[in-house]
Structure 1
Amino acid sequence: MSLSLKKSSTEPHTDFSIKNKKLHVFIAGIGAVGGTLTKLIKGLDHQQFEVNIIGVCNSKFTKWHPDIDYITNGKKLKEGEPTDWNSIPDELVDRNEGNLIFVDATGSEVVAHQYQHLLNHGVHIATPSKRANTFGQDYFDHLIKANNSGKAQYRYETAVGAGLPVISTIKTLLNSGDEITEISGVASGTMTFLFTQLQNGIPFSEAVRKAKEGGYSEPDPRDDLSGEDVARKFLILARTCGYTFERNQIRVDTLVPEKLISYSIEDFLEHLPDYDSHWKSRNAQALVNNRKLRYVGKFTPEGIAVGVEEVKGDSPLANLKGTDNLLQIYTKRYSESPIVVQGPGAGRDVTAAGVLGDIIDIGGFIKEN
């Protein structure tokens, strides 16, 4: 006997589907990550959630109920209300019906300072920005307290490792009663990209330009080259593990020439070729020693340090390619052989996808209206 799974066109249709839960999203910053996120949301076909973008903004304009087709076509926002961070938070609170998620893709300190107010008033947050979590320890504690209180959910998975499950892995370990004793490895896809480009004979300055144009670096590449980006990531990791650290406790090895610190971004990139010979020589010396340059970080309860190291040629860190990250997590239970999280740690696509994952995750905690 054959069994057909085709439904007869004359058979009455019974709809057993569950009505999708609506999630409203406001995206601050619609550049590389924010712009890609709008495309992902537009193309999303989720069985549980309907995600609606109710507003977007850039540094100049704010648009409520924007034309999503216009935004997803990569066109810059050139009209709307003036962007005013004295009024936007209150506007978000007023529009919130319990299902509003604020996405901060700006990297702005001004925007990051709004988080506590938003969370305390029930606006959920998903962000790839590292700013808020690396202010004073007290501010971070307030954000986590607000999340744990159930008033609003706060997600920052993509602040470390882009779309890689680093933060969620740590939280799972802690929730099971484990204790993190060390996290080490490469936490910058940008730095992996730069040093693998060097290995391939590309001048350092050209590699930096390629990283910026490809969306692998911060808008100002010096945020990566200074070590600040990696320092912030390890500070976030340490705090997420339950340890108290301030930024000034981290030892950081900077790659930014002192003379170029105060230059504009354009002038910095223009003068960076003056230092290509230094990096060519340093890379050649590492290769002679059968080693490769990597920008490595390490956290233990005793301290945090980040900087350039010559790693052994046969080590997992030496074999990283593209924008890969590799983080080793040691715990009381995983003391001999660590948990390893590896994969692309930079790029607009994987970061935007990670933010969307956080949005959907938050959706699971939002009660039906």
Structure 2
Amino acid sequence: MTLALKKMNPETKPEKKKLFVFLAGIGAVGGTLLEQIRELDHPHFELEIIGFCNSRYTCWDPVAEQLEDPTALCCGAKTDWNFIPDILKERPENDLIFVDATGSEKAAKVYTDLLHHGVHIATPSKLANTFEQPYYDELNRVSSNGKSFYRFETAVGAGLPVVSTIKTLLNSGDDINRISGVLSGTMTFLFNQLEAGVPFSQAVQNAKINGYSEPDPRDDLSGEDVARKFLILARVSGLNFERDQIQVDTLVPENLASLTTEKFLQELPDYDSHWKSRNAQAMVNNRKLRYVGEFTPKGISVGVKEVKTESPLSNLKGTDNLIQIYTKRYADSPIVIQGPGAGKEVTAAGVLGDIIDIGGLV
């Protein structure tokens, strides 16, 4: 059959490009991502899992049965972050993408080494981008050489296009003047629960049960998650900031900070009256409580604020985030991005989008 006839034949389909994925972390987000990859029927790409790991075990070249039940990791050796990068660098596959869904500092520390050796990275983890400024700069430098690509859209707004929007603005010659808003779906959920009359401690339990919070809710309540997100936004905007420059308002009572997670949740009802009173006072002022962050070239601050009822922040429901981006060109009327900012499905889908994005570049 001639090439022309092949093009005319509707039964002839172009061969899909194969992308090879190593998935680090098979918890809520990683496990959901694995399911989405297995169900994906993309017209241009075929994804193959060459390995996966959790904090204990690593499985290389898994068979179908192991991918169906990745938590049964008796198939692999002990996870060793001194060893995994060497294996990945020696793999024969081209177009290899390392996906880090672990939240592990050890995993985040291998990024530059992998990028140097042509391994691409997609991650929802905030850690690598919030280490010391020189490490972030090195990530940018290495991933700008056109040989390896680094995507972290979901590190800020789950599936929302926040990072990519800022990069597009900067690439067009615009300048970022201010970014403000709510970047914690967990906090939105908690304050909506308070408005509905749910005690604060029960709201925290509900967030944990529904998978909106980290396994230890203090990781959200401390404000550290939001602080890291705004630190990333500041750095993506082209400015140098370190974590200790951020003012953070924590919701974790000082005397509960060092308890086990179970004990923390048991003791938290002692503070229900405080949050009931604070929420009531906001209502008297015709305002609502929200956990708000703001970044300008002068600094970053995150914390609980009473927002006016006419503010778009007051109308957030569920786990919604809302980001307002003020720039040189959008100085009076900001760019607004709103949508779910928590949840394993939207986060995993965002990571999958980053993987496909990388596939289109390699």
Conservation of the 8 A alpha-carbon contact between 1:326 and 1:343 = yes
| Residue aligning to 1:274 | 270
The letter for the 2-side match of 1:145 is R
Q: TM-score, normalised by structure 2?
A: 0.95
Which of 119, 124, 143 is equivalent to 1:128?
124
Query: Does 2:52 correspond to 1:47?
Result: no
Which of 252, 256, 270 is equivalent to 1:256?
252
The whole-number CA distance in structure 2 between the counterparts of 1:173 and 1:229 is 25
The letter for the 2-side match of 1:301 is P
Which of 151, 158, 170 is equivalent to 1:155?
151
Deviation at 1:76, TM superposition (A): 4.7
Deviation at 1:346, TM superposition (A): 0.5
Query: Does 2:294 correspond to 1:288?
Result: no
Deviation at 1:100, TM superposition (A): 0.7
Structure 2 counterpart SS, 1:152: coil
| Residue aligning to 1:239 | 235
Residues 308-347 of structure 1: matches in 2 within 5 Å? 308-347=304-343
The whole-number CA distance in structure 1 between the counterparts of 2:276 and 2:64 is 46
Deviation at 1:146, TM superposition (A): 1.1
| Residue aligning to 1:197 | 193
Structure 2 gap ranges (5+): 1-7
The whole-number CA distance in structure 1 between the counterparts of 2:15 and 2:98 is 23
The whole-number CA distance in structure 2 between the counterparts of 1:80 and 1:265 is 30
Query: Does 2:101 correspond to 1:105?
Result: yes
Deviation at 1:71, TM superposition (A): 4.3
Tell me how many residue pairs correspond in the alignment. 355
RMSD: 1.4
Deviation at 1:356, TM superposition (A): 0.1
| Residue aligning to 2:14 | 18
Q: 1:276 to 1:77 in 2, by over 3 A?
A: farther
Deviations 1:222-243 (A, max 9, x none): 1111110000000000000000
The letter for the 2-side match of 1:189 is G
The whole-number CA distance in structure 2 between the counterparts of 1:172 and 1:189 is 25
| Residue aligning to 1:4 | none
Structure 1 gap ranges (5+): 1-11
Q: 1:357 to 1:278 in 2, by over 3 A?
A: same
70-79 vs 348-357, which moves further:
70-79
Conservation of the 8 A alpha-carbon contact between 2:29 and 2:348 = yes
Query: Does 2:352 correspond to 1:356?
Result: yes
Conservation of the 8 A alpha-carbon contact between 1:186 and 1:326 = yes
The whole-number CA distance in structure 2 between the counterparts of 1:71 and 1:259 is 43
Deviation at 1:138, TM superposition (A): 0.4
Q: 1:68 to 1:210 in 2, by over 3 A?
A: farther
Deviations 1:223-280 (A, max 9, x none): 1111100000000000000000000000000011111111122222221122111111
Structure 2 counterpart SS, 1:183: strand
65-74 vs 355-364, which moves further:
65-74
Q: 1:68 to 1:256 in 2, by over 3 A?
A: farther
Structure 2 counterpart SS, 1:89: helix
Structure 2 counterpart SS, 1:256: coil
Q: TM-score, normalised by structure 1?
A: 0.93
Conservation of the 8 A alpha-carbon contact between 2:20 and 2:94 = no
Conservation of the 8 A alpha-carbon contact between 1:96 and 1:123 = no
The letter for the 1-side match of 2:119 is V
| Residue aligning to 1:303 | 299
Residues 41-80 of structure 1: matches in 2 within 5 Å? 41-72=37-68, 75-80=71-76
Conservation of the 8 A alpha-carbon contact between 1:38 and 1:68 = no
The whole-number CA distance in structure 2 between the counterparts of 1:35 and 1:262 is 30
Conservation of the 8 A alpha-carbon contact between 1:163 and 1:354 = yes
The letter for the 2-side match of 1:216 is Y
Deviation at 1:68, TM superposition (A): 4.6
The letter for the 2-side match of 1:346 is A
Deviation at 1:219, TM superposition (A): 2.6
Deviation at 1:16, TM superposition (A): 4.2
Which of 205, 209, 212 is equivalent to 2:205?
209
The letter for the 1-side match of 2:150 is Y
Structure 1 outlier segments of 4+, above 6 Å = none
Structure 1 counterpart SS, 2:312: coil
